[in-house]
Structure 1
Amino acid sequence: MNREIPGFYYDPEKKKYFRIQANHKAPSGSQYTKDSVKRKRADHEKHQRKIHLTKRVAKEKITRATFLSHPLIGVQREIGSQHVSTSIRQEQTSSIYASQFRRNQLHQFEPWPDEYTIKHVLRNKRSGILIASGHRGGESSVSVCFPDCDQDKWTYNRTMERVLFKEPYRLSSVSLSHTGYLLASMDSGPDGDSFLAPRMLPDPDEGGDYRWPTSFSHPIRLRTASSLWCSSACPVGDMPLFAIGTSDGLYTLEGFGSYWALSKKPFPNDMAGNSSLHRRVDSSHALVTSVEWLSSDVIAAGLRDSAIFLHDLRSGGTATRLQHPHAVTKMRKVDPYRIVVSGINSLQMYDIRFPPNGLQRNPKPNTKYHTSTKPYLTFSDYSPEVIPDFDISLELGLLASASDERKIQLFSLRTGRQVPSPLSQYQYESSISSVCFESGDGSLHGPQTPSLLVCAQATVDEWIWSNSPKTI
């Protein structure tokens, strides 16, 4: 500490002593006049008192324990001291839910183990019917398993399995409407032909029995000249309505019973309204590999050439809006404006409200000249199977994807980061072919909380919330 010398002022910044000058003798603007030095000492004492007060408050203040902010306890939320957005709160809830995922073997289908490989797995949440489609070489099959409704929850056994049809075709897609109609698209038949097979699934009667309507004794076949690649059911409406992706563009299928109408939709011949960029419409640039309903009126169609166009059923208009880094393999809606798109090695979320960018006249994915739309969110740790499959749960704000390590990756839809879970640590013996989230809609015999159906080879597992310490 520097000692005080009468008539001098020690400047701590310059680390020197300066003579204190009389006010009337010092030149204008001098820093070391009697009044200036007085102000400097007063400011210094004020600053020291402030530092002392801050240290005293920090020492005597009672701080909350860190465990009170743990999301599982939720004390701060209950007393109203925690103010977080809805999305952050959902992410905290989903992290807790994912940490309690437990595996339950739901069913193992009879025909599949040594011959067939299951490709799609769905469950009708209205009736509980489990649907599985598989293939073996050039032959495909669709089977259903009826649940036992005598129990508190749906259970399945092999005696309740039925084969809907087995055909020498490539089964390209299976989609289920909320109205109870199942649509299978069959392609690459013996004569190179294709057909669509809509069928109504039965509901249980008062006695818990499932009876097929007499009008469906013979399956319906709607033959098409184009190859069929994908399908998706409209989530609302009184009538079943399906979007279908083919080798020559987008179609819709609407009807009931034995009466169905197949309608082709216009293909976009311009890039986001720019009439100078006319697209080719041959098979390589018109092949729709994925379809998804953004609303009851708007369909998103993803192409093999990486472009994504939107079609509005009200106006009949169609326009290209996005371009993915790779050929589009699957799409899932987050809301009417955001959509998650997967490719061979890419998984990204886009927002169609952003101005379109990265669009090309004739895109060629996997080349150095290919460009893509700037994504809203990127899932950077995505490492998919050879044929990638994923699904999302809006209730949990989670995305589940089958990884190349025969595991399930969980991602947050808010941040794109992986979410730790016992589900992600479990490794299957064979490749995962299908993942499908189910909502916890509180049906009588169905799951009461959100669950995930995972299929590997012949086994269908149900991953669901459980607070029991049972191992997986």
Structure 2
Amino acid sequence: MNGQAIPGFYWDPEKKKYFKIQSATASRDANLKYSAQNIRKREKQERVQSIVSARKQRVRKERVARRHVHDVTQICVQREIGLNRRSNYAKCVWPDAILYGLSQRPQKVLDRLGAAPAPRFVRDPVSKTLYIQYGDDSIIRLRPYRDGDPPLPSRMLNPLHILYDMERDDGRITVYTPEVWEEIHRTTSAVSSLTYLPATGSLATTTYGSDRPPTVILSDPVRNGPYIGQQFTPRGCRTIWGAAARPTSFDHSPGLLNTVAASHVEHLAVAASNTMYLFTCPQTGAWHMETGITSLETDVLAVDWISYTTVALGCRDGKIRLYDTRSGGSSHILTHPFPISKIKRADDPTRLVVSGLQDSLFLYDIRSSRPAHPSGSNHDDHHYNPEFINSLYPGHRNSKKRRKMSQKASTHWSQPVLTFYHANVDDLELDVDVHPQLGLAAAAQNPDDDVAIRVSNLWTGKTVKEFRRDKESQSQRVRSLKFMDDVDGGVEIWSSWGGGIAKFTQ
């Protein structure tokens, strides 16, 4: 008896014997061990066990377990996989030291221009020119006036109308005055984003749309003057949420040197409804529009470039997608638990800072999405633990049924690397900015919160500094927030403040 199969008999490997399989009729009302039903269950368990054993054996052969790893070996392995190992000084002390001397009192750059506020602005880093959204549908240009330039008319020299930028450039003091400004665009609906294009010095303006369709306006106010530019109206688009220009600091791939894509000097990604459009500008200067991603299940609310050929998209349903400009394909890589309002590249192309509703500001790593554990396992050893679920529904509002639904939903959410303290319940326009070199992440807070801007450490998740509201900024949303490098090598924080523009500096 060698255990080979015999029709009508079952070989028991424990007892080393054959047993006759009892039919369903013979084993009725009797719990026989070797009935046909029990034999089928036993064979199913054996098949499952063989599959599990084969998988474990394959994993054991394909993986190498590192044992007794010394510091030098670990550093070499981390360097090989591309992980930048930083010292404790660079991670913890340096970001705190950078913002230590930053004043918590806002310093006015530009006062409120009349009755309408200035919710958004961008700045040309070379000429220091400010492009400001004035009201809902107007874009104005504010040129700097430096000490030593031709004198302004006497009415412009009134000290009440001149606001100093407190920036010295080659010994000349730069000032901004509301008198030296001009309108360069008038849109047909409310402006949704204002983007400065670094390669060409152009300006990209997008609108939400209303009774008129949403538009994308691409212009070069320096060369062409006001009210001149290319206007695109995407067909079948309900609204445009935002745009992002590709930075000039990204290194291109070696294979792109002699391609047609390398001749494009500017790239702009636009998030419009459930579609992403890609605008390119060749050396001829004429912009071209192409559809990158179309017919998604939800709206694309946020967009940002993370490398020379890759765009990160944040959707209303919490999905984070990557789009490759070379192949034209996209993939879903991460899932945020709430609608995404802003998405930013962190200090590495594989790390993303994602801001969403319900006070969520997380740091993700696309190399390790780490989905939550199955619903039957312990929820105490990952981010979405009972503490996190109770924070969403404090008090007695977290019923047993809702608690089960939350735990089941958390199995589909991606595990973040870091969680930043954040206050944003339901506002999609609160801005977020990241300084990757200094390891700082600044985020605007709820208008009802005492803190207007909170700056966190990008590597530890701890709060570095908080900037509180004053009387002028009460109940005002910070819809534009930017890190600015000054001429002395330091950093400043510029934001929309009290209907105008203010900065926090030393």
- TM-score class normalised by the smaller sequence: 0.5 to 0.7
Match of 1:403 in 2: 445
Structure 1: which 5+ residue stretches go unaligned? 1-83, 203-211, 268-280, 360-364, 467-472
Match of 2:461 in 1: 416
Q: 1:161 to 1:287 in 2, by over 3 A?
A: same
Amino acid in structure 2 at the alignment position of 1:188: G
| In structure 1, distance between residues paired with 2:454 and 2:494 | 14
| In structure 1, distance between residues paired with 2:87 and 2:463 | 20
Q: 1:392 to 1:171 in 2, by over 3 A?
A: same
Q: How does 1:203-242 map to 2 (within 5 A)?
A: 212-213=223-224, 218-225=228-235, 226=237, 227-236=239-248, 239-242=265-268
| In structure 2, distance between residues paired with 1:456 and 1:221 | 30
Match of 1:275 in 2: none
| In structure 2, distance between residues paired with 1:420 and 1:245 | 31
Match of 1:121 in 2: 121
Match of 2:311 in 1: 299
Matched, 1:343 2:340: no
Q: How does 1:28-427 map to 2 (within 5 A)?
A: 85-86=86-87, 88-102=89-103, 103-111=106-114, 114=115, 116-136=116-136, 140-150=137-147, 152-179=172-199, 180-191=201-212, 193-202=213-222, 212-213=223-224, 218-225=228-235, 226=237, 227-236=239-248, 239-255=265-281, 259-266=286-293, 281=295, 285-334=297-346, 335-345=348-358, 346-355=360-369, 357=371, 368=406, 370=409, 371-379=412-420, 381-384=421-424, 386=427, 387-404=429-446, 405=449, 406-420=451-465, 423-424=467-468
Note the C-alpha offset of 1:397: 1.4
Note the C-alpha offset of 1:342: 0.6
| In structure 1, distance between residues paired with 2:197 and 2:87 | 30
| In structure 2, distance between residues paired with 1:144 and 1:100 | 31
Note the C-alpha offset of 1:312: 1.1
Q: 1:150 to 1:448 in 2, by over 3 A?
A: farther
Structure 2: which 5+ residue stretches go unaligned? 1-84, 149-171, 251-263, 374-391, 393-401
Contact kept? 1:412, 1:418, Cα under 8 Å: yes
Q: Give the secondary-structure state (helix, strand or coil) at the position aligned to 2:464.
A: coil
Taking structure 1 as the reference length, the TM-score comes to: 0.66
Note the C-alpha offset of 1:97: 2.4
| The 10-residue stretch of structure 1 (122-131 or 297-306) with the greater mean CA deviation from structure 2 | 122-131
Residue-by-residue CA offset, 1:45-83 (whole Å, 9 max, x unaligned): xxxxxxxxxxxxxxxxxxxxxxxxxxxxxxxxxxxxxxx
| In structure 2, distance between residues paired with 1:441 and 1:101 | 13
Matched, 1:463 2:493: no
Match of 1:432 in 2: 477
Q: Matched residue pairs, number?
A: 339
Contact kept? 2:184, 2:227, Cα under 8 Å: no
Contact kept? 1:181, 1:200, Cα under 8 Å: yes
Q: Give the secondary-structure state (helix, strand or coil) at the position aligned to 2:478.
A: strand
Q: Give the secondary-structure state (helix, strand or coil) at the position aligned to 1:259.
A: coil
Q: 1:310 to 1:240 in 2, by over 3 A?
A: same
Note the C-alpha offset of 1:220: 2.2
Contact kept? 2:91, 2:459, Cα under 8 Å: no
Amino acid in structure 2 at the alignment position of 1:124: D
| In structure 2, distance between residues paired with 1:162 and 1:266 | 37
Q: 1:184 to 1:356 in 2, by over 3 A?
A: farther
| In structure 2, distance between residues paired with 1:217 and 1:390 | 30
Match of 2:395 in 1: none
Whose Rg is larger?
A: 1
| In structure 2, distance between residues paired with 1:88 and 1:426 | 34
Contact kept? 1:169, 1:187, Cα under 8 Å: yes
Contact kept? 2:350, 2:367, Cα under 8 Å: yes
Q: Give the secondary-structure state (helix, strand or coil) at the position aligned to 1:182.
A: strand
Q: Give the secondary-structure state (helix, strand or coil) at the position aligned to 1:295.
A: coil
Note the C-alpha offset of 1:286: 3.6
Note the C-alpha offset of 1:433: 1.9
**Identity within the alignment, %:** 20
Q: 1:292 to 1:312 in 2, by over 3 A?
A: same
